[in-house]
Amino acid sequence: DVKVTQSSRYLVKRTGEKVFLECVQDMDHENMFWYRQDPGLGLRLIYFSYDVKMKEKGDIPEGYSVSREKKERFSLILESASTNQTSMYLCAIRGGAGYEQYFGPGTRLTVT
């Protein structure tokens, strides 16, 4: 079974704090993704990575950065958290010949 783990299920942070969300996979897949999910807006792609130290902007990268120092780990960074970044954050991986993406359980982040 594909396993994607996220560092926290629930997180509460204050405005202005630096926030790290971590995603770890055990499948040796090259492609990793960060999405945010908001009611009525579906899943929106923040950043993705095709390889170690490689990153690409998705549809909504503003206010976020990422880091991929090792193949199995992809981190999402909120440099200065704001209330409009309160959301569910989902990590996904994709590998092999297919397009299938496998998601982690998500981190529900609340910024107060």
Partner 1 sequence: QQQVKQSPQSLIVQKGGISIINCAYENTAFDYFPWYQQFPGKGPALLIAIRPDVSEKKEGRFTISFNKSAKQFSLHIMDSQPGDSATYFCAASMDSGGSQGNLIFGKGTKLSVKP
Residues of this chain that bind partner 1 (CB under 8 A): 4, 31, 33, 40-45, 48, 50, 56, 58, 90, 92, 94, 99-106
| Identity of the residue, 10 or 16, whose beta carbon is nearer to partner 1 in the bound complex | 10
Give the bridge partners for 60, in sequence order.
Answer: none
Tokens of 103: 């998601």
Residue 89 CB, nearest distance to partner 1 (Å)?
10
Q: How far is the CB of 85 from partner 1 (least distance, A)?
A: 19
Least distance between partner 1 and beta carbon 90 (Å) = 6
Q: Which of 18, 22, 35 is nearest to 70 (CA)?
A: 22
* CB closer to partner 1 out of 49 and 85: 49
> Of the two residues 5 and 82, which places its CB atom closer to partner 1 in the complex?
5
Of 56 and 79, which CB lies nearer to partner 1 in the complex structure?
56
* Residue 19 bridge partners (DSSP): 78
Tokens 């990268």 appear where? 61
The three-class DSSP label of residue 55 is coil
Residues 22, 32 contacting (CB under 8 angstroms)? no
